[in-house]
Every structure is written in structure tokens, then in C-alpha cells.
Structure 1
Amino acid sequence: MNLLIIGAGAIGCLVGGKVAHHHDANDVRVTLVGRPVVEEVVRQRPGLILSSHKGEQHVRNVQLFSTTEQAFQHASQPFDAAILTVKSYDTEAAINQLRQAAQKHGRPLPVVLSLQNGVGNEQIIAKMLSPAHVVAGIIATPVDVQAPGHLFIEKERYDLGLSCWHPAVPQKQFEALQRVLQRAGFSAVPYA
């Protein structure tokens, strides 16, 4: 699976870091899009640091770019899924950038899992892409950003729920995303 995570803050780095840590890069490729400062720090370090009361994990098999267009430019294969973790007020801009990058590089639009705070994000994604592209999600892991690309996980209870927002969401893609998240240690409980 080729996974794009748009928003390299606390939740984006948590999900991307855990997925990359628990999968071989030949099996699942993780690409994050975040602010230029995060990209710079993660490239210099290199990688993400996931800290908890149990210790630290250094995750190096991730790519990080400061724009979605750069992520598409460097992707050797189409993205199978995107996970949106930006603030709600950035949803429209993030989806617009995703749409433009896919079109520019002649790639299909991936299914988008929204792991955002707030309400109405799924409606915005559905309006801008289509209802068949939307997976709704919720995550309940308290995490704090210590520095760009360095997280502290307060409680390691990786609860995550997801649901096809519309019956037209391809079940095969939904289940593949669910399996990737479960293998990374998230509960990834499906809801109707």
C-alpha cells in the first residue's frame, strides 16, 4: 500500500510513524506532508521519534515533503489511501491541493480517511472529491508534539474507529486500509 498522510503534526506523525514502524517499506510506503520546518528536521535527523513512558522508537522509513505536489512528484506508484490530519479550517485547501496534484501527475484520487477534530470535514471532502472517496474516522490517543517530528504518547491505547462514509466507498480499499492500521497496533474498529 502506498499511504499519503496530509498533516505531519501530532496525529499525522503518530499514525505515519506507527504504520512505518510496523511495516516493511516494500509492503507499505508512508509519505507525510507537513510544514517546511518539519520536513527539514525529519530529513536532518533522519526520521520520526515516537516517545512514551516505555522508551523511544526511531522511525526512518518515512518520506516527508512540504507540499502534496512534491509527494505526488516523488511517488513511484499512485497513493492507495490518504489520511487527512490537518486542522478543520485547512480541510478545503488540503483537498484542493490533493486534487490538483493527482490531476497534474495523472494519478487517481485515493480514498481519504479523515482523522480530524471537528464536524463537517467529511462533507467537505465528499463535495470536493466524491462521497465514494470518504472514510470517516476518530482517534483517541493522547499525544503531544515535543519538537517537529518528535512525539510523546501520553497513553498507549491506540483506539481508532473508521467507517465508510457512503456505500460507494470501495470495500476492498477500506479493508486494506483497516488491515494496515490494525497491523500498526491501532484497533481500527469498523463502524456502520
Structure 2
Amino acid sequence: MEGARGSPGLRRGCGPTRPGAAPVQPQAACGGDRAAHHGPAEGATVNVLVYGAGAVGSFVGAVLARAGERVTLLGRPAHAQAVVRDGLHVEGPGGSRTWVRIPAASRPEELDGPFDAVVVTVKGYDTHGAASTIPHLLAPHGRVVCLQNGVGHEEVLAGQVGSGRVVAGAVTTSVSLAAPGRVVQHTRGGVVLASWDGAAVEDVVDGLRRGGLAARSAPDARGLKWSKLLLNLVANATCAVLDLPPGLVYGHPGLFRVERRMLQEAVAVGRALGVRWVDLPGFPVRMLVPALRSPEPVARRVLWRAVSGGRGTKMPSLWHDLARGRTEVAYLNGAVARWGAAVGVATPVNEVLARLVQELSLGLRDRELFRHHPEALMQALAR
């Protein structure tokens, strides 16, 4: 991010039907200061913080460090300690290995700010906590780049730092944390960024490109986040509830129809909100949307390519959430259900999946009742 440059061609992300931040009630307003921020002066040293440096955050941090940016990671103690001690190791999809030496911390008070850019990659349930500390870490001209999954996070961040300082983003590169200090990149993918309300994005895109990652900007933040939401919904909640890998879910006719109905509901809600779908690196979303109306064999092939090409053999994020006892489903299927209620679109499949994932994560339902039992899910959906 060498010297921020404004991007007059970008459309503002704020609009009267933008998805809301709160996991309980959709909101439409963009909060905070609307003045656009354009970053440090040309040639100035850029200080970047990755807030919530797990697999995705550490990967993006490594990319920016390779581009010559000053990057600091804020992550869990074991990971931060490993990075400080041994550096950050990244294994690429072709077996390539890179290593970068960058600072890392596990508590905000340990950080040496202020930062010109804060890249947010925390889990959805940690957004409010992170947002409350970011204003104390951000330089006066600084921006917040939100790379989280789901919808609703940008509004929370904008409420703390001002909507003109927020950049929305979507990452399609599949990565995992093999061990503290070690990231594995499974697919190439890339990053797409969009201004939430006038913030510059092209310098961030340039930094990611210089670090070796496919990156570009998009004109519509809402369309970008809802397009990524569609990909996050595919083979996620269904796999988590049933403890089945995507291949088995898509090989089961009844479960495939559940997936298809769930995605059709999300598309219907997006249509009611006026969402303009955006193609993402490795994912032709604008082809995926009409394919949902195609004959079942065609739809199955298209959706399966989206799953296998984007996630590889990894189990989905909500499956991992259930093991942790905390889940982001409120910002995924839950967001579809909330916005469906707000615009008058029925979303029964998303409502049931969101409720089941939440109840299973809290121990309110016995996981064994659903584990490897598609008929149990079918019965829950039929009620």
C-alpha cells in the first residue's frame, strides 16, 4: 500500500437496503463519519495491523509483508508466540514454501501503533469487541479493511470509526492453520475489495498484488458481500449439522435439494434487496445464481464445482464452529433469515439451519441425533 490513491470510479457501498449489522434485527443506516479517507501521503511508510490473525489473517499478512509493508499480527497467544519465535511459514498449493519475519502480539495493549490500516479477520461473534478497540489503534487517516465472512460486520465497524474509513472485502483463497506459526494455502483464489462509503481501495489492491495475490476492486460493497455470502452458505450448515463432508451431502439427492432450496432463498432475499451479484476469483457467482433454476443434474454439477474448487477437501467453517461451541451462523444463514423477514421473503430452510447450528453449538440439542442422519434433518425441515 505505497501511498494511498483515491478511486473516483468506485460507487459508495451505503444504501437504504444495505444488510444490517445486528444479529437480531436488520438495520439499514450507515453509521458514523461519512468523510472519505484516502490513507497516508504518497511515499509514506504504511503500518498495517491484522486484527484476528488466524489462518486467513496470517495469510493476508504474509502477502502484504512480501509486498514490503510493515505488518503486525494480533492473534491467539500460541500463534503469536510461534510467529515471534520462528517467523510465519506459508505453504503454497504447489508445495512452495515462504517465510516472513513479522511482529506479532496476543493483546491490543502490546501493539505499537497507530496503524494506517487495520485488516479485520476475527470471527463474527468477536466483531463488536474488536470494533470497540480499533479506534484507539487507528491513525487519523487510517482505514479498516473488513475481510470477514457473512454480512453485518461493516456496519459495526463503521459505527466505531466512520463509514468513510471502511473497506469491504471478500477472500476466496482457502487456507488453514496447520500449527501455530504455519499456514497452508489450499487454493489460489484471491481478494476483491470495495469501498463502503468512499474510502480508497486501489492502494490496498496494489499491495496485495505486489505480494503475489490476485486482487481487484469492485464497484458495489453490498453486492460483493452478498456474493461471498452465497459461497459461504454452500455445503456449510448442512455439513455441520450432519457431520458429513460436502461430497456426501451433494451425493445425497435429498440433501442436495435442501442445499438448493437454501441457496434459492438467499438469492430471492438478495433480489428483493436489489443486490447486484459479483463474480469472485475462482467463482463465477453470476453464473451460479441462474444455475440454481436449472435442472437438478446441471445445478448439482455447478454447485459441486463451487464447493470442490473453493474449499478443496476441508470441512466447512460452521463444522469447526460446533467444536468450539461458538458459531458465526447468525451472520450467514441467520442473516438470510433476518433479511428475508425484513423484506417479506420466506426463508424456512435458512431459519431451520440457523437455529439447529446455534442450538447444537450451545449444547441444547444432542449432536448424535443428527450425526450422519440425513432423515433427522429432513424431519426438522418438514415441521
Per the normalisation by structure 1, the TM-score is 0.84
The alignment partner of 2:209 has SS state of helix
Residue 163 of structure 1 pairs with residue 194 of structure 2: yes
Q: Give the C-alpha shift of residue 41 in structure 1.
A: 1.4
The alignment partner of 1:54 has SS state of coil
Return the alpha-carbon distance in structure 1 between the equivalents of residues 144 and 186 of structure 2: 27
Return the alpha-carbon distance in structure 2 between the equivalents of residues 3 and 68 of structure 1: 14
Equivalent residue, structure 2, for 1:58: 99
**Over residues 74-112 of structure 1, what are the superposed CA-to-partner deviations in whole Å (9 max), with x where a residue is unaligned?**
24xx3111110000111111111122345xxxx426211
Q: Who wins on radius of gyration, i.e. which is larger?
A: 2
The alignment partner of 1:110 has SS state of strand
Equivalent residue, structure 1, for 2:143: 111
**Identity among equivalent pairs (%):** 35
Residue 145 of structure 1 pairs with residue 145 of structure 2: no
**Over residues 16-44 of structure 1, what are the superposed CA-to-partner deviations in whole Å (9 max), with x where a residue is unaligned?**
01211232xxxx20011111111111122
Q: Which runs of 5+ in 1 are unaligned?
A: none
**Over residues 126-161 of structure 1, what are the superposed CA-to-partner deviations in whole Å (9 max), with x where a residue is unaligned?**
11221011100001001111001201111123x110
Equivalent residue, structure 2, for 1:87: 123
* Structure 1 contact 99–109 (Cα < 8 Å) conserved: no
Which structure is higher in strand share? Answer: 1
Higher relative contact order (CA 8 A, sep 6+): 1
Letter of the 2:183 counterpart = L
Return the alpha-carbon distance in structure 2 between the equivalents of residues 101 and 56 of structure 1: 32
* Structure 1 contact 8–149 (Cα < 8 Å) conserved: no
1:15 to 60, 63, 79: 60
Return the alpha-carbon distance in structure 2 between the equivalents of residues 92 and 110 of structure 1: 19
Return the alpha-carbon distance in structure 2 between the equivalents of residues 99 and 69 of structure 1: 13
Moved beyond 6 Å, runs of 4+: none
**Over residues 36-55 of structure 1, what are the superposed CA-to-partner deviations in whole Å (9 max), with x where a residue is unaligned?**
1111111222x101012332
Letter of the 1:93 counterpart = G
Q: After the TM superposition, which residues 125-136 of structure 1 pair with which residues of structure 2 at under 5 Å, given as runs?
A: 125-136=157-168
Return the alpha-carbon distance in structure 2 between the equivalents of residues 133 and 69 of structure 1: 22
Equivalent residue, structure 1, for 2:110: 70
2:205 to 172, 178, 182: 178
* Structure 1 contact 9–149 (Cα < 8 Å) conserved: no
Q: Which runs of 5+ in 2 are unaligned?
A: 1-45, 220-383
How many residues of Structure 1 are paired with residues of Structure 2 in the alignment?
173
Equivalent residue, structure 2, for 1:5: 50
Quick one: structure 1 residues 101 and 162, their matched pair in 2 at CA, closer, same or farther if it must change by over 3 Å? closer
Q: Alignment RMSD, CA only?
A: 1.6
The alignment partner of 1:161 has SS state of strand
Equivalent residue, structure 2, for 1:33: 74
Return the alpha-carbon distance in structure 2 between the equivalents of residues 37 and 12 of structure 1: 15
Return the alpha-carbon distance in structure 2 between the equivalents of residues 9 and 108 of structure 1: 27
